[in-house]
Every structure is written in structure tokens, then in C-alpha cells.
Amino acid sequence: MPPKSADNKRVLLVNPNEMQPPVAPIGLDYIAGSLEQAGFSVDLIDLCFASSFKEALDAYFRGHDPIAIGVTLRNTDDCYYLSQAFILPRIKEIIDYIKVKTNRPLILGGVGFSVMPEPILAYLEVDLGIWGDGERALPALVKRMAAGEEPFDIPGLIYRKAGGSSGQTGGGPLASGGYHCNPPELAELLDLPLPRREAVDNPRYLREGGMGGVETKRGCEQSCIYCADPLAKGRRYRLRPPSIVADEIEVLLGQGVDHLHLCDSEFNLPYGHALGVCEEIIRRGLGERLAWYAYLSPVPFTEELALLMVKAGCQGINFGVDHAADRMLRNLGRSFTAADIRETAAVCHRLGIPFMYDLLLGGPGENKSSLTTAISFMKEIEPSRVGISAGIRIYPGTRLAEIALADIEKGTANVRGAINPAFFAPAFYVSHALGDELYPFIASLVKKDGRFFFGGGEEAAANYNYNANSMLMEAIKKGYRGAFWDILRRLAEEGRVIKV
């Protein structure tokens, strides 16, 4: 029997991220909106809430035959040294099962995917992916598929080159060998239409995950040696107009989603954009109805910005400082100093803003002296919380990957995990001077200071991994809302509120 033709106007999106507490796949919400605007009906299977992925897929494919299936890969692993949970094998099970249910083309995308797209396509045996933004490229690709036209010039498209195997796309140039990557079209200003935010069940993510998310820009111009963000989002800031960000917040508020985490890697870069977003939220009077959290760089951070953020509803700041020893900050490619970090603490203390510092310890050049500096500096400037990640995930394509390979050659590296092929599965850099002493030594410095989230400590409560974090899941069930670190903080010290 000839295969029946697919529903040319229907696209299925799948979220295979099963980590708990759940974090909304806002990337899928954005691309579902743009597919709808392009005239497609969009179905979403959110496996985060499914008891069995097979049952969910069976039920769907009994009644539908979409023209294509888009799968988002936000995470490839939990990037956490102590657990090193690699979720691509599980995602492969899901993808393999989708292939059992349909022979329509699969398309991969998402931030985790965009960090190392070709090895992921090869591992999952998929022919098509889109690097970076999906809003324009995915509808363009699916339109071509619906019209029976070749899609090979679409910006950002990655496709299997001619010559062979998986056959999912029905032959033609998409057949085997290596992959071809089209250069992406990175629009300078993200003036995309307002996302409707209706595909993902954002109210459920609020109930079960404590918050929703919204993005104010994409890309990063910093040079941190370990970071995958520029690889996955581009090396230039691309801004969303503050009016669109505020419109989107109003859409979420209309759904009852009043706790948000900004999905920018560092909200205050560029500085003027952060001011503009806060001003627009305040101008519309949304600050009183909203509680939000953000990642920030310690520089540029001023009392002017902090006041605006609080007026706009900010309830807490997570500064990705990485370290507090100037030598290590330089080694990690950071452009600020310990004095700048001290200034952020002074501003937050003056305004009563809960704030946390994220430390990334064990990198190139780390030793006992720099660890001692970092921990004692934190204790001295008294942030509300300090998150410690020790052992740094090495992503292919970063400066850290080059340093790790050179150190392996010299015999001076401690790389834990899978080095080959090219740091695909989790691999972590641990400074040669520390090796196995990294965790015990940090534990001896932190002692029983409850402000530190440190998985190597004696306290179970110190677990600083948001994957399979049962304490957080319990708290959210009981009604706690907000950033995970702030929920954990409030659990420890009930009753503190922000006063402006």
C-alpha cells in the first residue's frame, strides 16, 4: 500500500527533557508561535509531564500524521561533576521510538543541540537540525517540505550530506556521510512577532516548577573560556525590543504566571537594554504583579539599575562571578575583579535584595590558595547564598577544551569523564594541583556554613543540582515559587522579604 500523505499543515514538537523540577521549554513556545503564524497547526508532546514516553507517542500517532517532528534539546547533560548525568542516551531511546511510529522527517534544535550539533545528529542518527534561533528557520524548512521543494539553502540548516544511510528524509542529498552546516542568519534586532506562549502549559510549569521564563536578548560578547553560550547563541548581543518583552510578560501574567526567571545568560549586558526593559515594565505597572529573578554579570551593576530592577519586580539576583581571586578570574577569561564583586554585595545589602554568587572552581591554575581566597571572600561579603560547582564541564569548541587537550598532552591535566570523541559526553576539568583533593578541601573551607550550596558537603540540603532535586520538588508542591536557589534560601530562613 502506498504511504498515505502526511498532514501538510501539521507539525509535532516534542520536549524530551524529563529533569525535575520541570523547567518550561520556552524555546518550543517561541517556535510554536512562529509556526502558527506561518499557517501550521502545532501539537506539542511534553514528555516532562508524561508517565511513559511510549504511551504518549502511541496515543498521538494513532490519530495524527504531521509533516515533520521537531525535537528540542535544551540539555545534553546536567553539567554537574558529582552526578555527570548524560541524558542523550535517553533522548536516543525517545527518538528511536518516534522513528518506529513515523517515517516523517525529524528536525533537532535547541541550545544544548546548538553547542555541538553535528556529533548530536550523528549520535541520534537524525538527518536535519537547525543551529540557533528556530523562529524563522523552522517554518521556512517545513514550508519547503510541504511544497515538496528542496530546503538546502535555509540559513542555520544542518543536513546530512549526500551518499548514504538513515533514509529518514527519503534520500536525495540528505543521506549520509558528514553534515553540511549553512551559515545562520543572526538578526541584529529580535523584532519577531509577539509569541503567544500558548503551546507550552506555562501555568502547569508554574505549579510544578515554581516559575515561567522569558528572554530579553540572545547572544554573548564575553570571552569566558568555558562557556557554551556564544557557541549556541552567537557572539553578538541581539536585543528584543523592551515593548515586546513587556507584552510577553503581560501574556504570561494573563495566564496567571507571575513568577519568572529571565532566560538571558547575563541580563545586565548590555546595560542600556536592561535599563530599558525595567523601565518598560515599570511604565506599565507590571512590577507590583510580578516576581522575577535573573542571572547578572557583576559589571556593570549600579544602584541605579538595582533600584529599577526591584521596582520592576525583581526578587533576587544570581551573579555568575565564577571566582573571587583576581588571578583565577583572569584565567577564566572574566573582565572584572574581586573589588567589583565586593561592590555588588554592597549595593544589594544597601537595598535589601537577596543575591547569590555562582562559583566555578577547579579551573586552570586553581590551587589551595585560590580556593581559600574564594571561599573566605564569600564569607566576608555575606551574599544570601553561594552556589559551588567544582570541576568545569568542557564543551567542544571552547578555549577550555583547547587548554584541556594541551594539558593532557603535557600530562598536567585532570580531565574526568569522556575525553573522546571531542568531549561529547560529560567531561570535567579539574586543576592538576588539586585532583582528588578538590572536594574535601572545599568542604574543609565551607565547613557547615548553610549559605553555601555545595554537593560535596555533609549536608544533604547542600545539593546544588537542579536535576532530580527532591527538596525543591517538595517545596514547590507546598506552594513555594521563584528561582530555585531562592526557594532553597527561604526554606532555610523563613520570613525574610524584600523591602525597597
- Provide the minimum distance between the beta carbon of 54 and ligand B12 in the complex, in angstroms, as a whole number: 21
Nearest residue to ligand B12, scored by beta-carbon proximity: 109
- The answer to whether the beta carbons of residues 294 and 262 sit under 8 Å apart is yes
Helix (H) or strand (E) holding 406: helix 399-410
Question: What are the two backbone dihedrals, phi and then psi, of residue 417, each rounded to the nearest 5 degrees?
Answer: 110, -165
User: Which residue, among 347, 338, 360, 339, has the nearest Cα to 317 in the 3D structure?
Assistant: 347
User: Which residue, among 320, 261, 227, has the nearest Cα to 24 in the 3D structure?
Assistant: 261
- Provide the minimum distance between the beta carbon of 27 and ligand B12 in the complex, in angstroms, as a whole number: 2
- Cα distance between residue 217 and residue 464, in whole Å: 27
Query: For ligand B12, which is the closer residue by CB, 338 or 388?
Result: 388
Q: Which residues contact 355 (CB under 8 A, 6 or more apart)?
A: 316, 317, 318, 319, 344, 345, 348, 383, 384
Query: For ligand B12, which is the closer residue by CB, 75 or 331?
Result: 75
- Cα distance between residue 36 and residue 43, in whole Å: 10
- Provide the minimum distance between the beta carbon of 413 and ligand B12 in the complex, in angstroms, as a whole number: 21
User: How many Cβ atoms are within 10 Å of 440's Cβ, its own excluded?
Assistant: 10
Residues belonging to the chain: 500
- Provide the minimum distance between the beta carbon of 208 and ligand B12 in the complex, in angstroms, as a whole number: 11
- Provide the minimum distance between the beta carbon of 189 and ligand B12 in the complex, in angstroms, as a whole number: 14
> Which residues bind to ligand B12, rule: CB under 6 A?
17, 19, 22-24, 26-28, 30-31, 70-72, 74-80, 107-112, 114-115, 130, 133-135, 138, 211-213, 215, 228-229, 233, 261, 263, 265, 465-467, 484
- Provide the minimum distance between the beta carbon of 190 and ligand B12 in the complex, in angstroms, as a whole number: 9
Query: For ligand B12, which is the closer residue by CB, 114 or 315?
Result: 114
- Point out which residues pair with 452 in neighbouring strands: 386
- Provide the minimum distance between the beta carbon of 103 and ligand B12 in the complex, in angstroms, as a whole number: 18
User: How many Cβ atoms are within 10 Å of 482's Cβ, its own excluded?
Assistant: 22
Query: For ligand B12, which is the closer residue by CB, 110 or 383?
Result: 110
Query: For ligand B12, which is the closer residue by CB, 304 or 402?
Result: 402
- Cell numbers that stand for 442 in this block: 572545599
- Provide the minimum distance between the beta carbon of 226 and ligand B12 in the complex, in angstroms, as a whole number: 9
- Provide the minimum distance between the beta carbon of 8 and ligand B12 in the complex, in angstroms, as a whole number: 18
Query: For ligand B12, which is the closer residue by CB, 74 or 481?
Result: 74
- Provide the minimum distance between the beta carbon of 319 and ligand B12 in the complex, in angstroms, as a whole number: 13
Please name the residue that has the C-alpha cell 507571575.
258
Query: For ligand B12, which is the closer residue by CB, 24 or 286?
Result: 24
Query: For ligand B12, which is the closer residue by CB, 134 or 363?
Result: 134
Percent helix, strand, coil in the chain (nearest 5)? 40, 20, 45
- The answer to whether the beta carbons of residues 357 and 386 sit under 8 Å apart is yes
As separate numbers, helices (DSSP H) first and strands (DSSP E) second, the chain gives 18, 19
- Provide the minimum distance between the beta carbon of 205 and ligand B12 in the complex, in angstroms, as a whole number: 8
Determine the angle formed by the axes of helices 368-381 and 338-351, rounding to 10 degrees.
20
Q: Which residues contact 113 (CB under 8 A, 6 or more apart)?
A: 72, 73, 76, 120, 129, 131
Order of strands, sheet of 427-430, starting from the edge strand that comes earlier in the sequence: 392-393, 427-430, 414-417
Query: For ligand B12, which is the closer residue by CB, 107 or 308?
Result: 107
Question: What are the two backbone dihedrals, phi and then psi, of residue 100, each rounded to the nearest 5 degrees?
Answer: -70, -35
- Cell numbers that stand for 169 in this block: 528524509
Q: Which residues contact 65 (CB under 8 A, 6 or more apart)?
A: 4, 6, 7, 10, 102, 104
Query: For ligand B12, which is the closer residue by CB, 8 or 337?
Result: 8
Please tell me whether residue 182 adopts helix, strand or coil conformation: coil
Query: For ligand B12, which is the closer residue by CB, 30 or 301?
Result: 30
- Provide the minimum distance between the beta carbon of 410 and ligand B12 in the complex, in angstroms, as a whole number: 27
Query: For ligand B12, which is the closer residue by CB, 377 or 454?
Result: 454
